[in-house]
């Protein structure tokens, strides 16, 4: 009696397996493309730094479509695909986005508090997130405490443009048992407000106000604080290089990490405004020595500040 095997040729089985693999592969590739985000970086002008930033973000997010377009090539914001995620790199692109209250979800990179106030009405349009270039006020105050725990009175110069920043700073100081001593400096050619403040403060904390802290005022600010042995902290890394004591700041890698974190989130969960969680500390060793401050371990100090912020 002959054997009654049901037998499929090997070629048929192999073909079926290859078909199944192709189906799975196609499904996987479709899934990747379906979940890939379209991330559009915008600035008024193309430049080597913009292209470098775009490449770095592309390498950080290989599954997404990261691209750059100059502002002149774009239609109005409402004509862009609503699924696009915009990253604005300068003020002209921010002004363009403000043309329409509607538009794609947008991250405004490295905008200062003063710039935002000058360009915005009372309310921030929907689907915009402002990523502040200013150092976080409470981070700057905690930086002061870490280096100079004996300090209590924090001197702050302000003008008509930056006066609104005092309320947030005062709240931050209150939480750290510090006192803000504020002095208006409307005419920077008049040194009396600066001298008054230095007489009544332990430390001078610079606000990110270019009317007050700029190349023209730097010499007076730095020499006056140095002669009174009152450290100037901030307002940014450039001023530290010029002669202030120390500041927190965020560089390109920090901003890329900030963007990477936010782009992983649903756009509905993006905050309305945000100080960068990634940062570094820069100090001026010569100034520290002249003030009798021990050498500053910038990396260790930044780590300590970040750990303090991450605690509940």
**Residue 10 domain-assigned (yes or no):** no
pLDDT in tens, 104-157: 999 999 999 999 999 997 678 889 999 999 999 999 999 999 999 999 999 999
Is the same domain home to 40 and 156?
no
pLDDT for residue 14: 56
This prediction's pTM: 0.87
Q: Is the same domain home to 179 and 300?
A: yes
pLDDT (0 to 100) of residue 18: 54
**Boundary of a domain, candidates 132, 162, 191:** 132
Task: Write out the residue range of the structural domain in which residue 211 sits.
Answer: 137-249+280-310
97, 132, 167 — which closes off a domain?
A: 132
In a domain, 75, yes or no: yes
Residue 206 within any structural domain of the chain: yes
In a 3-state reduction of DSSP, which class is residue 158?
strand
The domain tally of the chain equals: 2
Pair 178, 242 in one domain: yes
Same domain as 161, residue 115: no
| 132, 159, 174 - which closes a domain | 132
Pairing of strands 128-132, 179-184: unpaired
How far apart CA 147 and CA 224 sit, in angstroms, is 21
Spell 142-172 as b/e; 16+ CB within 10 A means b: bbbbebbeebeebbbbbbebbeebbeebbeb
Q: Which residues of the chain have pLDDT under 50?
A: 1-10, 20-21, 24-34, 312
CATH code assigned at 65: 3.40.50
Q: Kindly report the number of other CB atoms within 10 A of residue 303's CB atom.
A: 12
* Domain membership flag for residue 111: yes
Angstrom distance (rounded) from CA 85 to CA 109: 13
Tell the burial category of 205 from Cβ atoms under 10 Å away from its Cβ (0-12, 13-18, 19+): buried
- pLDDT, position 271: 96
Query: In terms of domains, do 88 and 225 share one?
Result: no
The values of phi and psi at residue 38, to 5°, are -95, 110
Claim to verify: residue 102 and residue 181 sit in the same structural domain: no
């Amino acid at each position: 009696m002959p054997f009654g095997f049901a037998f499929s040729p090997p070629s048929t089985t192999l073909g079926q397996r290859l078909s199944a693999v192709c189906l799975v592969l196609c499904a996987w590739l479709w899934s990747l493309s379906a979940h890939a985000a379209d991330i559009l970086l915008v600035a008024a002008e193309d430049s080597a730094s913009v292209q470098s930033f775009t490449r770095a973000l592309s390498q950080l997010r290989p599954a997404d479509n990261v691209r750059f377009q100059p502002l002149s090539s774009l239609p109005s914001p409402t004509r862009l695909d609503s699924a696009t995620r915009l990253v604005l790199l300068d003020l002209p692109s921010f002004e363009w986005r403000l043309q329409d209250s509607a538009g794609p979800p947008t991250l405004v990179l490295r905008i200062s508090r003063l710039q935002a106030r000058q360009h915005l009405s009372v309310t921030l349009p929907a689907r915009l997130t402002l990523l502040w270039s200013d150092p976080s006020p409470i981070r700057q105050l905690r930086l002061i405490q870490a280096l100079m725990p004996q300090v209590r009175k924090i001197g702050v110069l302000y003008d008509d443009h930056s006066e609104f920043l005092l309320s947030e700073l005062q709240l931050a100081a209150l939480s750290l048992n510090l006192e803000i001593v504020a002095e208006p400096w409307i005419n920077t050619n008049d040194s009396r407000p600066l001298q008054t403040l230095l007489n009544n403060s332990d430390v001078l904390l610079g606000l990110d106000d270019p009317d007050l802290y700029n190349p023209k005022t730097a010499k007076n600010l730095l020499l006056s604080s140095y002669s009174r042995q009152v450290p100037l902290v901030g307002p940014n890394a450039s001023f530290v290089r010029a002669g202030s004591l120390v500041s927190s700041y965020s560089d390109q890698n920090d901003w890329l990490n900030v963007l990477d974190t936010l782009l992983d989130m649903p756009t509905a969960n993006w905050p309305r405004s945000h100080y960068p969680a990634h940062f570094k500390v820069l100090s001026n060793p010569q100034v520290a020595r002249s003030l009798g401050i021990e050498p500053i371990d910038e990396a260790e100090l930044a780590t300590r500040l970040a750990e303090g912020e991450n605690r509940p």
